[in-house]
Amino acid sequence: MADVVLNRVESPQFPDTIKEVIYEPGQFEPVSNGQINKPADEKSIEAVDAALSDMRNITEDSLFFYNPDIATNRWLDSRETAVVIGD
């Protein structure tokens, strides 16, 4: 998610700040369900570190992400997968 947020900040299609991107209505489930207010776990910290490191371009210019194993909304199934990260 961290890399996608940074990609969106750089895209003219989305707001210009990290906070505006994250809190744009209906965009990220952790905002919608309140999970964003919990302390970051180790995997979240690693994702941010990766997004700010040499791995910054791993998602290319991707503006969306999802986990197909747990997603309840299937609209991204119709889009081409640019990269798979992890399992």
What are the structural domains of the chain?
A: 2-78 (1.10.10)
Check pLDDT > 70 for residue 87: no
Alpha helices in 11-66, H assignment, sequence order: 18-22, 29-32, 42-51
Tally the C-alpha atoms within 13 A of residue 34's C-alpha that lie toward its C-beta: 0
pLDDT in tens, 18-68: 999 999 998 988 898 999 999 999 988 988 888 888 777 777 788 887 777
Q: Which residues contact 32 (CB under 8 A, 6 or more apart)?
A: 26
- Say how many C-beta atoms besides its own lie within 10 A of residue 13's C-beta: 6
Task: Determine if the pTM surpasses 0.85.
Answer: no
Q: The tokens of 6 are what?
A: 């940074």
